[in-house]
Chains A and B, each alone.
Chain A
Amino acid sequence: MPPSATSNLGYTPPDGGWGWAVVFGSFISIGFSYAFPKSLTIYYKEIQEYFSVSYSEIAWVSSIMLAAMYAGGPVSSILVNRYGSRPVVMIGGLMVGAGMIISSFGATIIHLYMCVGVIGGFGLAFNLQPSLTIIGTYFQVKRPMANGLAMAGSPVFLFTLAPLNQFLFDNFGWRGSFLILGGFVLNCCVAGSLMRPIRGKGPVKAVTSPNGANNKDEDCHSQTITTVSRKKKAGCTDRVNAFIDLSLFKHRGYLIYLVGNVVMFFGFFAPVVFLAPYAKHLQIDEYSAAFLLSIFALVDMFARPLTGVIANTKWVRPRIQYFFSFSVAYNGVCHLLCPLASGYMGLVMYAVFFGVAFGMVCALLFEVLMDLVGAQRFSSAVGLATIVECAPVLLGPPISGALVDIFMDYKYMYYACGVMMLVPGIFLFVMNFYNYRWLEQEENIYSTLQSIFPVYPK
């Protein structure tokens, strides 16, 4: 049986109590991070007319915001490693709020690029990473459930922000709406204030305790054991590792995760983006097409906590990597079968199944990462992962759009997305099978060594 998920924290996380308040705070932060950029698209038509720019120029605002959000990942990780989650989230909230309020007075589209795009995007990055990290510090046994609940923030916020933005727009125009949204987004600061650091200490990164969970020392130590010539290099890497753990790139499980995810993200978001246009292409009216997205979001909303609960059971938790690879492959199968869906009811079925699949992957996305690298290095891991995943996330929808334009048919895009999710799913499944086996072997070797040499350093 593969080894169970570890804590390497140095203390037993409470798995409850104030942890649920922290989950609620993460819920709000994650909700804003993912849903806010998407919900701003409601204002684009009016802003486009106001500044007399083309559609692609206004779409740059979204792209810049997303790019800043992903690029800010490592910066966010460094700050969280240094100062802990709470200050970073509060500063992130202030940044987004200030960005929106300043942009409401903007005179050109460049002002929007800077304020909403760059400042807003970085602010959202400062919200996302710390929220995920702090869950790992408060939860161990119930961590998948906590992750699932926190990630459910994204569809819930999207569901509420869309009509709210429409209401604000009708009553206040885009400038007034940006002003009010700037204030509304400051609720991230409220969420941040909930993220009380555990044990009153700032960063989870352990200090220099001799037996302590100190990967910095451990790396140094193991490197000096292996080769003497690399001693000098160990000093340099040590200093960098104080900020962000680059040794993660040598972590086998982490590399498997990265490779699988990079390919997966090419086909992950495109089907969501093209769901409504595909429905309209099949001669379904606009309102029913929009309703498909609502069905999708509603199913997603419930699928995420449910997946968290399932992942928490004692049958799934030890094999959570398999569960994740299954959900990725299930996504792929959904997309491959989508062109067979005929008529509106077929698309409704697809939206339901896709909603479940999407929710499953999102709920487990960061949980499996925590499971692989441990809560301590999670902050660096997620920061590095976002900057590597940045390219497929940003390129996926445009490439899919190009496929639709070239073939004038949506089915090739769905086939491509299906393949791009099925292959990583199978890859992750196979590689994790081997990874679990190698980990088991290493554990056996280690325990034999420890029985021979009782003082074998850890």
Chain B
Amino acid sequence: MHPDAAMLAAVLVGNLLLLQRASAQNEPRIDASDQVVLVHEGSHSTASPVTLQCNLTTTHNTHTGSFWMKNQQEIPGTRRDPKNTEYRLNKPRADDAGEYMCVYTFDKAPNANASIEVKAAPEIISHKRSENKNEGESAKLYCKSVGYPHPIWTWRKHRNGGWSEIDNSTGRFSIINNENYTELYIINLDISTDPGEYECNATNVIGNKTAKSILRVRSHLAPLWPLLGVLAEIFILVVIIVVYEKRKKPDEVPDDDEPAGPMKTNSTNNHKDKNLRQRNTN
């Protein structure tokens, strides 16, 4: 290599290193609080209040403001001026967990941020409690959770008095996992093996949580027995009523046939009014 070129390269590299160090020196430093783990005693109580703090220490540029972000989205109402900002979680719940970032905005420099992780054990907020389907149809069991970091999902089935892995030898089961959501999809339901209790399990570094769902498979012939029962009841009732009627005396109703002559007094009134009504038709 030409000695001039080598010198040029060394100077360039040296400059680059210098530049890096200089920018490292120019880069603002933020002191952020450590990661927090929310601890719950029981499902309804909340952890004690948590305060996330960020302190802007070294900076060469004036900063114009700061705000907080949660899971890459700005939290509204957190834009403020002071150098140390804090974000307070008064009654933190599982869905308050996530990756929080304090972001400082500058006049002539890009934003600087620091992230604080708030971790919590997963809480299953909704799941399919029971699913009733006919045999041969498809069933979908799902579970939704909140918590951070996003859990790992597993499904189990209650079999022979204990929980065991789902047997997918028939290839009818499929599981779709997506951060805080999992779905167990079963096609072509089998009435002998599929019904029972299923359990979704959400596990992360802090803890785990389960939720149960019951799957019932209806047989095609299931409604037949009640139908036959109802038809039998109807048939019996009709027979009883008809037989009772045949055995009763035919002339049960006191007849009041008017003879073709003078009327009986108690029906005269009726006839007058009757004709009156019909007269109205004209």
Contacts and interface: CB of A to CB of B under 8 A. Distances in A.
B248 to A, nearest CB: 9
B270 A173 contact: no
A186 B234 contact: yes
Nearest to A194: B241
Given A194-B241, A446-B279, A458 B255 contact: no
Nearest to A196: B245
Contacts, number: 139
B282 interface: yes
Interface of B: 132-134, 218, 222-224, 226-227, 230-231, 234, 237-238, 241-242, 245, 250-258, 260, 266-267, 269-282
Nearest to A169: B132
A446 B274 contact: no
Contact of A183 (B231, B238, B250, B282): B231
A10 B267 CA distance: 8
B211 to A, nearest CB: 21
Contact of B253 (A14, A253, A374): A14
10 contacts: A8-B270, A10-B256, A10-B258, A175-B134, A177-B223, A179-B227, A182-B227, A212-B258, A439-B276, A458-B275
A183 B258 contact: no
Contacts of A170: 132
B276 A180 contact: no
A281 interface: no
A248 B281 contact: yes
Contacts of B282: 222-223, 226, 250
Nearest to B231: A183
A187 interface: yes
Chain B CB within 10 Å, residue with most, of A190, A194, A250:
A190
B281 A251 contact: yes
B212 to A, nearest CB: 18
A94 B267 CA distance: 40
A252 B103 CA distance: 85
A189 interface: yes
B241 A190 contact: yes
Interface residues of A, number: 60
B281 A219 contact: yes
A374 B274 CA distance: 8
B256 A213 contact: no
Chain B interface SS verdict (over half): helix
A3 interface: yes
Output the residue of B278, B279, B282 with the most chain A CB within 10 A. Answer: B278
Residue of B134, B227, B250 contacting most chain A CB atoms (<10 Å): B227
Contact of A186 (B132, B231, B241, B252): B231
Interface in A146-203: 170-173, 175-177, 179-180, 182-184, 186-187, 189-190, 193-194, 196, 198-200
A215 interface: yes
B280 to A, nearest CB: 5
Contacts of B252: 14, 17-18
B223 A11 contact: no
Contacts of B277: 6, 8, 251, 253, 372-374
A401 B186 CA distance: 41
A442 interface: yes
Contacts of A173: 132-134, 218
Contacts of A183: 226-227, 230-231, 234
Classify the secondary structure of A's interface with B: helix
A177 B279 CA distance: 52
Nearest to A212: B258
* Among all A-B residue pairs, the 3 with the closest Cβ atoms: A176-B223, A8-B274, A183-B230
A179 B218 CA distance: 14
A208 interface: no
Contact of A11 (B218, B227, B256): B256
A41 interface: no
Given A184-B230, A218-B278, A447-B272, 15 more contacts: A6-B273, A8-B277, A11-B256, A14-B253, A18-B252, A179-B227, A183-B230, A199-B253, A199-B255, A218-B275, A253-B277, A253-B280, A442-B279, A443-B276, A450-B272
A12 interface: yes
B238 A189 contact: yes
Interface string A235-266: 00000000000011011110000000000000
Contacts of A209: 258, 260
Contacts of B222: 171-172, 176
Contacts of B218: 171-173, 176
A218 B280 CA distance: 12
A44 to B, nearest CB: 17
Contacts of A7: 270, 274
A442 B276 contact: yes
B256 A190 contact: no
Interface string A205-230: 00001111101001100110010000
Given A176-B218, A199-B253, A219 B234 contact: no
B250 A200 contact: yes
A10 B257 CA distance: 6
Contacts of A187: 234, 237
A187 B278 CA distance: 38
A190 B237 contact: yes
Contacts of A179: 223-224, 227
A4 B255 contact: no
A3 B273 contact: yes
A372 to B, nearest CB: 8
Contacts of A458: 271, 274-275
